[in-house]
Amino acid sequence: MSLESFLFEALKIIFFPGFVFIFILALFYEWFDRKFYAKLQNRVGPLYAGPLGILQPLADFIKLLSKEDIVPKGVDKVLFTATPLFSLSLSIFATLLLPIFSVKGLLSFEGDLVIAVVLLTFLCIITFFAGVASYNRFSIIGAERSFLQLIGYEIPLMISVISVALNAQSVTISSIVSSQKGLWYILGPNILGFIVFIFAAQAELERIPFDLPEAEQELIAGWNIDYTGRRLAMFRLAKNIELVFLCGLAAALFLGGPLGPVVSGYEPILYTIYFIIKSIFVLAILTIVRALFARLRIDQIVSLSWKYLLPLAIIQFLIVRLMI
Amino acid sequence: MILGLISWARKRSPWIAHFCTGSCNACDIEILACLTPRYDIERFGAIVRGSIRHADILLVTGPVTRQVRDRLLRIYEQMPEPKYVVAVGTCAISGGVYRNSYNIYPGVDSVIPVTAYISGCPVKPENIINGLSFLLKKIGESE
Ligand code: SF4
């Protein structure tokens, strides 16, 4: 590899569409989520940090970085330090799979859809360990709940993703995206799968109505109760990056990812713009779900998943199976 | 420059925890009113956090009784630095109508250091926002 192409690749990984771009996107998505949520509740939302409060997530992040870092007595020090790092690095790794500026992601290989789904489960397992590491009664309950939730939404999520893969006859994100050149899968037979995916994504992100692991009124802050300063900042950033990842994955699997009408020569820029527009559309749906519903009980979540989401996902699978 | 950035961030993102030391609940309801569409302190970036470990500002309402004193101290010590305490309501400032009672401390500041006082019985939401913006200004100056 020549020096120039090496430098080009390095710039790609560091700036666009690598770490810096993902960081900015994650903060922007959190701002959009909070602002839109506030608008839906007839409030104003963040206003004074930057124009329209757009720098609010950045302010939160910097403030948390500059706060005192407390390691309480009696926590498992190794896990307590390792879990924030793991969750951040895994979620960044997951976003590198997204097809942002072209049909292929920065990392793209045969079968990367499987890796993407596995990473989601890993992130949930890390949440569990983070809760257990602090040996706090609330955090342990929160961690248990996040696992119980996993039992509920994991299988419908997998089946909805599998039906997309079956439709495209491939488990590679780039070929799934390019097989949607004619018709997006949400318009095609996969609308049910999209609905299942939205609910499962909401549960994966632990947002209302599935925010049991950090239910504020019952568990104070749930699994992250004892984390302060830098560690909490990392967890929050990892959650936001996961939000970007899930919105982007939904856009790539169901909405045709970065595809759209292009002017030749400007493909990367246009692709990026289309990708952001589509994933923000998904984010808006997630925010509306968050504003519409109240929190469910844990048994209600599991029965919702097994009684409604799972049959929906199986019907989806059968429809796709019969159509091809 | 980094210090400037940090002080900007601290000023713009005050996370609040709310502790009731035994108030008559009127002050607490007024604090909740600050979160509603009409007053909405999320404009300042304030979120009410459940966990004291995430918070920057402790809002204390009500008179400090002998029983709650130890809990208040413990809560205060669990907060990460830099931390600020705001006494909300006359009871929290001086004991209010319960002053000179045998089991009441004369105000929160006789137990933990207090940065800002917001008076009223119960306090008005406008008053809380005024106190909050005063505190934020003070945070900006002290850095
Ligand atoms: S200041 Fe007044 S309203 Fe507030 S807690 Fe005391 S008695 Fe109740």
Contact with chain A for residue B54, Cβ under 8 A: yes
Task: Give the per-residue pLDDT at A28.
Answer: 92
| pLDDT for A294 | 85
Ligand 1 centroid vs B105 CA: distance in angstroms?
Answer: 15
Does residue A292 lie within any of the structural domains? yes
Evaluate whether residue B85 is within a structural domain.
yes
Q: Which atom belonging to ligand 1 lies closest to the Cα atom of B122?
A: 3
| CB-CB neighbors (< 8 A) of B78 in chain A | 70
CB contact under 8 A, A70 and B43: no
Domain that holds residue A262: 72-323
pLDDT given for residue B42 in this prediction:
87
B96 Cα to the center of ligand 1, angstroms: 7
Residue B1 counted as domain residue: no
The number of folded domains in chain B is 1
**Gap between the terminal Cα atoms of chain B:** 12
Mean pLDDT of A283-294: 90
CB contact under 8 A, B37 and A43: yes
**pLDDT exceeds 80 at position A15:** no
Q: Does A197 reside within a domain?
A: yes
Structure tokens at A159: 């089946």
pLDDT higher than 80, residue A217: no
Q: Residue A1 — very low, low, confident or very high, per pLDDT cuts 50/70/90? A: low
Instruction: Please check whether residue B3 lies inside any domain of the structure.
Output: no
B65: in domain = yes
Contact B104, B95 (CB under 8 A): yes
pLDDT at B8: 84
Does the pLDDT of residue A284 top 90, yes or no? Answer: yes
Instruction: Please report whether residue B52 resides in a domain.
Output: yes
The answer to whether residue A278 is domain-embedded is: yes
> In a mutational test of the pocket of ligand 1, which residue from B20, B21, B24 has the highest number of ligand atoms less than 8 Å from its CB?
B24
pLDDT at site A142: 87
CA–CA separation, A208 vs A201, rounded Å? 11
Give tens-digit pLDDT for B112-124: 999 889 988 889 8
Compare CB distances from A49 to B5, B12, B37 and report the shortest one's residue: B12
Alpha-carbon distance B61 to nearest alpha carbon in chain A (angstroms): 19
Residue of higher predicted confidence among A15 and A236: A236
Residue B95 reports pLDDT greater than 70 = yes
The rounded distance, in Å, linking the Cα atoms of A94 and A107 is 9
Backbone angles phi, psi at B36, to 5 degrees: -80, 165
CA atoms within 13 A on the CB side of A176: 34
Residue in B108, B117, B121 to alter for ligand 1 test, most ligand atoms within 8 A of Cβ: B121
CB atoms within 10 A of CB B11: 22
Question: Would you say residue A316 lies in a domain?
Answer: yes
Centre of ligand 1 from the C-alpha of residue B18, in Å: 15
Assign A36 a pLDDT band (cuts: 50, 70, 90). Answer: very high
Within-domain flag for B2:
no
> Which residue shows structure tokens 């404009």?
B43
In a domain, residue A77? The reply is yes
Tell me the CA–centroid distance for residue A29 and ligand 1, in Å.
Answer: 40
Strand, helix or coil at B21?
coil
3-state secondary structure chain A: CCHHHHHHHHHHHHCCCCHHHHHHHHHHHHHHHHHHHHHHCCCCCCCCCCHHHCCHHHHHHHHHHCCCCCCCCCCCHHHHHHHHHHHHHHHHHHHCCCCCCCCCCCCCCCCHHHHHHHHHHHHHHHHHHHHHHCCCHHHHHHHHHHHHHHHHHHHHHHHHHHHHHHHHCCCCHHHHHHCCCCCCCCCCCCHHHHHHHHHHHHHHCCCCCCCHHHCHHHHCCHHHCCCCHHHHHHHHHHHHHHHHHHHHHHHHHHCCCCCCCCCCCCHHHHHHHHHHHHHHHHHHHHHHHHHHCCCCCHHHHHHHHHHHHHHHHHHHHHHHHHHC
**Cβ atoms of residues A226 and A143 within 8 Å:** no
Q: Where are the alpha helices (DSSP H) in chain B?
A: 2-12, 26-33, 66-78, 90-94, 125-142
Pocket of ligand 1 (CB under 6 A): B 23-24, 26-27, 61-62, 89-91, 96-97, 121-122
Q: What CATH number does the domain containing B103 carry?
A: 3.40.50.12280
Look at residue A2 in the predicted model and tell me its pLDDT.
77
- Predicted confidence (pLDDT) per residue in B11-23, tens digit: 888 899 988 888 8
Q: Could A228 and B53 be called an inter-chain contact, meaning their C-beta atoms sit closer than 8 Å?
A: yes
- pLDDT-derived band at A260, boundaries 50, 70, 90: confident
Is residue A35 one of the residues assigned to a domain? no
In a domain, B105, yes or no: yes
∠B34-B40-B44 over CA atoms, to 5°?
105
Amino acid type, B91:
C
Q: How confident is the model at residue A17 (pLDDT cuts 50, 70, 90)?
A: confident
Q: Which of A30, A54, A58, A62 to mutate to test the interface with B (most CBs of B within 10 A)?
A: A62
Report the number of distinct structural domains present in chain A. Answer: 1
Out of A205-209, B16-20, B48-52, give the one with best mean pLDDT: B16-20
What are the b/e assignments for B91-101, b being 16+ CB within 10 Å?
Answer: bbbbbbebeee
Is pLDDT of A324 > 80?
Answer: no
The band of A283, judged by pLDDT with boundaries at 50, 70 and 90, is: very high
> How many other β-carbons are positioned within 10 Å of the β-carbon of residue A51?
8
Residue range A117-122: average pLDDT?
89
B77 reaches A (C-beta below 8 A): no
Whether residue B36 is predicted with pLDDT greater than 80 in this model: the reply is: yes
> Which residues, in sequence order, are CB contacts of B118 under 8 Å at separation 6+?
B86, B87, B88, B89, B127, B128, B130, B131
- CA A287 from chain center: how many Å? 13
A318, two tokens: 């059968």
Percent of chain A residues topping a pLDDT of 70: 100
Q: Is residue A34 part of a domain?
A: no
The owner of tokens 């005024």 is B130
**Cβ–Cβ of B53/A227 closer than 8 Å?**
yes
Judged by CB atoms closer than 8 Å, whether chains meet at A48 and B45 is answered as yes
Closest residue in B to A214 (Cα–Cα): B50
Per-residue pLDDT band at B143 (split at 50, 70, 90): low
Cα of B22 to ligand 1 centre, how many Å?
A: 9
Strands B15-20 and B57-61: parallel
Structural domain boundaries enclosing B48: 8-142
ipTM of the complex: 0.89
Contact B44 A63 (CB under 8 A): no
* pLDDT score of A287: 92
d(CA A112, CA A125): 20
